Chain A
């Protein structure tokens, strides 16, 4: 299985500011994803992070609001830009795909509160 770490684990931010969340995997993976889980809701896919090219965003999510980087096969960042209280959520990094497994694994999440 993959071991995934996320930084920060939680943060409290002021509206109008931006926060960058880091995701580090202990092994090379083919695919990396970012999800959001708003309070009391299920997980919603934000985007697929593509190495060396622009991320693929799901409907309702745009690059200006959630810029994503993936410089290599083990690391990705998600930035939540110009935050508002509606962005208060848990943000989860997820990975899939290597020679050894088909499962999709999740990081511990970043709990974001926007005041």
Chain B
């Protein structure tokens, strides 16, 4: 299993602004998944992007993947207070379980 490293560790923005979080990983992958975790709760699956995809959208979320740089980014547009949460990336290279890094703690201030 390999672990993604999210950057920055913490991010604070005003409501309505865009939030960008980055993820780096070390070895080749089949796909990469992004998750959100509200305080003390389970992980919510946001989006999966496959290694042959470069960009994917879901509502206000936009995920990019650059396999040559072994990196991904998650953009949340027009952020809301309800987007306040921790965000995790999870690269997957085989049939192994996902391993998680420390995540990015996003605070959206109303």
Do they bind each other?
Answer: yes
Known: A103-B33, A104-B33, A111-B40. A42 touches B45 (CB 8 A): no
| Contact between B45 and A1, CB atoms less than 8 A apart | yes
Task: Choose the segment among B18-26, B67-75, B99-107 that binds chain A (4+ C-beta atoms closer than 8 Å).
Answer: B99-107
How distant is A31 from chain B, measured CB to nearest CB, in Å?
Answer: 7
Which listed residue, B33, B41, B98, B100, touches A109 by the CB 8 Å rule?
Answer: B41
Across chains A and B, the number of contacting residue pairs, with CB separation under 8 Å, is 49
A-side interface mostly = strand
| Among B44, B99, B103, residue most surrounded by chain A Cβ atoms (within 10 Å) | B99
Given contacts A42-B88, A45-B97, contact A104 B45 (CB under 8 A): yes
Is B45 within 8 A of A105, CB to CB? yes
Measured in the bound complex, the distance between the Cα atoms of B48 and A45 in whole Å is: 20
Return the 8 tightest CB-CB contacts between A and B, nearest first: A106-B43, A108-B42, A43-B100, A109-B42, A106-B42, A42-B100, A33-B97, A42-B102
Interface residues of B (CB under 8 A from A): 1, 31, 33, 35, 40-45, 48, 88, 90, 92, 95, 97-103
Question: Is A114 an interface residue, CB under 8 A from the partner?
Answer: no
Chain A residue with the shortest CB-CB distance to B30: A102
Q: Please, how many angstroms separate the alpha-carbon atoms of A33 and B90 in the complex?
A: 15
The digit string for A77-115, where 1 denotes a CB below 8 A from any CB of B, is 000000000000010101010000011111111010000
For B35, list chain A residues within 8 Å (CB): 106
Please measure, in the bound complex, the distance between the C-alpha atom of A31 and the C-alpha atom of B43, giving whole angstroms: 17
